[in-house]
Amino acid sequence: MEYKISDQHLQEAVRDLHTISDFIRWTACCFESNSLCFGHGTDNGWDESVTLILDTLNIPKETGNELLNCRLTETEKKLITHNISERINHSRPLAYLTNSARFAGHEFFVDERVLIPRSPIAELIENHFEPWLLHPPKSILDLCTGGGCIALSCAMAFPEASVTGSDISAEALEVAAINAEKYGLQNETQFIQSDLFANLKGQTFDLIVSNPPYVDAQDMASLPDEYHFEPELGLASGEDGLDITRVILAQAAEHLNEGGTLIVEVGNSAPALEDAFPDLPFTWLEFTRGGDGVFLLEKIELSG
């Protein structure tokens, strides 16, 4: 295998670079000059380099610029260059290197058992789902919860609500448990292993939120290398990307309370969804920070 960045270049960095600022500049140049796919939390080489350096050193991103001129030890430099090599030479996503991802203003533990959170639903949670919900929900279900980011962010946004997260993957739920413990929310949230609604019989909610698998077969075949580190179970959803969403639409109404709301992300499969369900009155939500393919339906619309 021919590496995009050689051991010699990495050794030179350890020898010649000294400060956090040095490494951010150098790493950004390396990222921009190599064929990397950004999309797991950042969208450019500079932001990716800042995140890699600070997260590797366990320095909060909110830290002031006065730390940027701090000198690094050789051990710290070698840890940074190891992560740079993994990111460039093997296309490993940054979040899996640092086991850290930010969502809805919170930092979560992630590893290869779960998708890296990047859903625009984070913006909805930060805004308490306004103006889409008339009243704060008292019960919330995060369907296909993965590492629990949506469920736990909802629990922090609505401390009076009971929050449930469900996922078919037992491994993903292990990560969700780690994050629940991180924020002391073990008693405020429950996580259930379930193939969609299969193990939720009789349970109803004011709000069901879901970021399910929705990548169609054509997109799965052309995904950049970075995405192949993520569990396929959390990405692929049949030929048109709608296998999981069809089940959600068929069963969600019986798990919603009167006046309840369903919010689901389908990403690039949105046009296929509208073609498949021309009679459903989807409300497509807009986001100030970017992102699309998230719809809202009320229980009465689903029942009809």
pLDDT in tens, 213-268: 999 999 999 999 999 999 999 999 999 999 999 999 999 999 999 999 999 999 99
- Determine the average pLDDT of the residues in 73-85: 97
Q: Report yes or no on 1 lying in a domain.
A: no
Q: Considering 55, 71, 98, which residue would you say is the last residue of a domain?
A: 98
Is residue 301 exposed (0-12), middle (13-18) or buried (19+ Cβ within 10 Å)? Answer: middle
What is the per-residue pLDDT for 3?
A: 65
Residue 148 contacts residue 179 (beta carbons within 8 Å): yes
Whether the pLDDT of residue 2 is over 60: the answer is: no
Asked if residue 77 and residue 141 are part of one domain, the reply reads no
Closest CA to 80 of 97, 60, 61: 97
Q: Which CATH number belongs to the domain containing residue 117 in this structure?
A: 3.40.50.150
- Determine the average pLDDT of the residues in 40-50: 92
Residues of the chain above pLDDT 90, percent: 90
Asked if residue 86 and residue 223 are part of one domain, the reply reads no
Asked if residue 133 and residue 80 are part of one domain, the reply reads no
Total domains, the chain: 2
Q: Considering 69, 98, 127, which residue would you say is the last residue of a domain?
A: 98
The residue range of the domain holding 211 is 104-303
What is the per-residue pLDDT for 62?
A: 76
Whether the pLDDT of residue 290 is over 90: the answer is: no
DSSP-assigned letter for residue 65: G
Residue 39 contacts residue 94 (beta carbons within 8 Å): no
Asked if residue 118 and residue 85 are part of one domain, the reply reads no
Q: Report yes or no on 241 lying in a domain.
A: yes
Task: Indicate the average pLDDT of the chain.
Answer: 95
Query: The pTM is what?
Result: 0.93
Whether the pLDDT of residue 1 is over 50: the answer is: no
pLDDT in tens, 113-139: 999 999 999 999 999 999 999 899 999
Q: Considering 42, 65, 98, which residue would you say is the last residue of a domain?
A: 98
Q: Report yes or no on 2 lying in a domain.
A: no
Q: Report yes or no on 17 lying in a domain.
A: yes
